[in-house]
Amino acid sequence: MDFDEGDVEHDPASLEELLERGLKVVPVTIWGDEVVIGFNPKELSRLFGLNGEVAVADLSTMIEKYETVLEAACRATRQLPPDHMDWECPERKRTLGRFTFHIFDRPERALNAYNVGMYSSEDRGRNFKDVLGSVGFEEIARYGEEVLSRVKSALGGPSPLDLDKVLDTYMGTKTANELMDLALGHSVHHLKQLYEYMAQSGIKPVDPL
């Protein structure tokens, strides 16, 4: 499939095109007059006429996967040297401290969306300093453990989430199940990126996925 890739951080023309369409978030896929915001497997499959259903993890599987992924992310975060906290990705202006926090914050924001009924674009980019203060990797890992505890309670506690509840999001309406599943996939994606950073820095992850 032929496509044009745009880099809004380094290509002013790409940014201008999005702004002209009234779009203020990335990633976004544009096909003719149709727009799909975020990584949305169901909508992307529909847009490109792909066959097969996009599976969403059931409750028990989702809990197990969240445990596996967030525990691994906590281990990796604790391995990072303190002086790497302010390292900034050359392709994206985000520090390593903010990046590791983001791995855990996306699931937390999904839980928050369930309570308030809305998941906004502002929920995506919270800065750890605004939430936790001036902290290090250990405190971010502890935050990750707290998020995992809340996820397990929300999904497997005595009063579990109604996963069929429909929520408003910047990507369109989503069920709670879809939003929690997207947050899980998001954490997996960024954990893989963290492993790549560690490899380039000569840090061997303890018990990686």
Ranges of CATH 1.20.120.450 domains, the chain = 59-200
Q: What angle do helix axes 176-200 and 96-116 make, rounded to 10 degrees?
A: 170
> What is the per-residue DSSP string for 56-93?
---HHHHHHHHHHHHHHHHHHHHHS-GGGTT-B-TTS-
pTM of the model: 0.79
Backbone angles phi, psi at 31, to 5 degrees: -135, 100
**Cβ neighbours for 159, distance < 8 A, ≥ 6 positions apart:** none
Q: From first to last of the 209 residues of the chain, give the pLDDT tens digit.
A: 677 787 777 778 777 877 777 776 667 788 878 877 666 677 777 778 887 666 666 788 899 999 999 999 999 999 999 999 999 987 777 899 999 999 999 999 999 999 998 988 777 778 788 888 889 999 999 999 999 999 999 999 888 899 899 999 887 888 899 899 989 999 999 999 999 999 999 999 999 98
- Tell me if the domain spanning 59-200 has CATH number 3.30.40.10: no
- Yes or no: say if 35 and 43 are a contact pair by the CB < 8 Å rule: no
Comparing C-alpha atoms, which of 79, 105, 39 is closest to residue 197?
A: 79
Backbone angles phi, psi at 201, to 5 degrees: -95, 0
What's the N-to-C CA distance of the chain in angstroms? 31
